[in-house]
Amino acid sequence: MRKILFKNPLSPGDVIVSTAALRDLKRAHPDEFSIGYEGTCRELLRFNPYIDPLDPTDDDVMRVRMEYPAIHEANQKPLHFIGAYHQWMEEFLGVDVPLTDFHGDLPLDPPEKKWMSKIKELTGSDLPFWVVAAGGKFDFTTKWWPSSRYQEVVDYFQGDVLFVQVGESGHMHPALKGVIDLRGQTDIRQLLRLCHHAEGVLCPVTALMHMAAAVETRPDRPDKRPCVVIAGGREPVNWEHYPHHQFLHTVGALPCCNSGGCWKSRTVPRNDGNPKDKALCENPVPFSALVEGDPSHLPKCMDMVSVDAVVTAIQTYFNGGVASYLTSDQYDAARPSLSQ
């Protein structure tokens, strides 16, 4: 039995994606490998059945940092982020690690699935809802879409779709009106449970989109969760797009992303000493912020994603029958909990 302690010090999205390779290594070689995990977001893997409690001080435990060097060829080869972890693992370990499920692996503990939904706790009713992350981190401002436009989407569906806003404290997440506001109120496990109960997700390219694919749906819902991703042109479609997501991109529509994603970090400099200030958008356009916290400029690729396009993408799931609009009674139950 080869004991390997995999290390991943990267962001939650990277950790979520890497869980697919950990799962598939164990599925393919259950008697050959004992695998552990250390790094960021350890709570994501708390109930993962493929992770073993390895002692990093044991002489027979190999500590290995997880990598995905294929990202440097993402614009040239049809490879998904998940497949990149698998590819690295196969080359490093010298074994086949076939992909089984096209998503990460974030199992809930059986008692967690039985706990009351946070939304039912707040409203008194088990209401269908969509989780929305209307912002992002300050290190990657090229992923931002204005909160004023998210607000237009929320307003369009007022009375028909219940949105629940999430976002980590310290990141850019201006408050939306007409939503249940849970910004800064969910730790990792709480966000997983919220996602489990969610009918759908609306977000930019961020950890939440990977979570939307990786967390199992409730038994009373379709087994693939609707998710609308506002992507622009930063990353190649093949790298991020899950088959059942609506991925709103502009790759190929602009010279700066004509051959794939531009991979730029910031729209304009933040002058905070972060080296990401050197990876600037080549095509920023001024934006008249109507909401405090909205950016003064947008990458043109993100500006080109219209409110109408997002509304249409969300409606696709309702028109196809995998999501259901609120009834008038359900909306009345949600109304007292909505932000003003």
CA geometry: angle at 128 spanning 209 and 185, to 5°? 60
For residue 100, tell me if it sits in a domain. Answer: no
**Residue 249 and residue 194 share a domain:** yes
Tell whether 139 and 285 lie within a shared domain: yes
Same domain, 235 and 184: yes
Instruction: Give me the number of domains the chain comprises.
Output: 2
Whether 161 maps to a domain, the answer reads yes
51 lies in the same domain as 144: no
Backbone torsions φ then ψ of 13, nearest 5 degrees: -60, -40
Across the chain, mean pLDDT equals 96
Same domain membership, residue 213 and residue 86: no
Q: Provide the residue range defining the domain that includes 56.
A: 2-93
- Amino acid 292: pLDDT: 74
Instruction: Note the pLDDT tens digit of each residue in 61-101.
Output: 999 999 999 999 999 999 999 999 999 999 999 999 999 99
87 shares its domain with 164: no
CB 25 within 8 A of CB 41: no
pLDDT at 289 over 90: no
Residue 280: CATH number of its domain = 3.40.50.2000
pLDDT at 290 over 70: no
Q: Which two tokens stand for residue 119?
A: 């939304």
Q: How far apart are the first and last CA of the chain?
A: 58
Are 118 and 72 within one domain? no
Residue 108 lies in a domain: no
Are 61 and 163 in the same domain? Answer: no
Contact 291, 155 (CB under 8 A): no
Give the pLDDT confidence score for residue 294 in this predicted structure: 83
pLDDT value of residue 91: 97
Distance CA(335)–CA(176), nearest Å, equals: 14
- Do 69 and 121 fall within a single domain? no
pLDDT tens by residue, 136-151: 999 999 999 999 999 9
